[in-house]
Structure 1
């Protein structure tokens, strides 16, 4: 079985504070963020709504994408989210469903 890696964006609310990360286990990482065991930044600013995720089979591709997105202007990140999730729904509920 091939490992899947995800680049993800969390938001505190629509157009709120954003956090971009990469993980090899998206469901586990989201649990960590929601239970104060994720990034300190995400915990401090209440950033735990999963609004965007991209899957990769190569960890290096995932890391490169995360680094690229982190350098983007905020407007580009908002556009990326809106393109795939115009309602800013919390995609966490779809992970195990």
Structure 2
């Protein structure tokens, strides 16, 4: 059975830099980024706010979507984000309700 995957887009609080990623564990991956344990790029530019996510039936489909979106211009990514998040607010509170006991104990925002 194939594992589902997620495409996600993060940004800094000023919405000047965007990061597109893929994962099979959305909550855990975004949590890592928020705590500064993401990749070097997100750490360097303080990219911690989840603006967009999309679930795919398989990781392969999520990876294909990520490769496609990474080639897009920033304006296109913003339009994609606005399809589910017109105000471009941090969606962490939405996804964190899907959480696991103990994972969010030290989360401060």
TM-score by length of 1: 0.91
Report the equivalent of 2:55: 55
Asked whether the equivalents of residues 2 and 59 of structure 2 are also in contact (C-alpha less than 8 Å), the reply is no
Report the equivalent of 2:95: 95
Asked whether the equivalents of residues 15 and 78 of structure 1 are also in contact (C-alpha less than 8 Å), the reply is no
Report the equivalent of 1:15: 15
CA distance, structure 2, for counterparts of residue 86 and residue 57 of structure 1: 25
Asked whether the equivalents of residues 6 and 24 of structure 2 are also in contact (C-alpha less than 8 Å), the reply is yes
For structure 1, which runs of at least 5 residues remain unmatched after alignment?
Answer: none
Report the equivalent of 1:44: 44
Distance 1:87 1:14, change over 3 A: farther
Report the equivalent of 1:29: 29
TM-score by length of 2: 0.82
Q: Which is greater in Rg?
A: 2
Give 1:14 deviation, angstroms.
Answer: 5.1
CA distance, structure 2, for counterparts of residue 4 and residue 13 of structure 1: 29
Q: Which has the higher helix share?
A: 1
Aligned length: 97
Report the equivalent of 1:77: 77
Q: Deviations over 1:28-54 (max 9, x none)?
A: 001110112111100110111000000
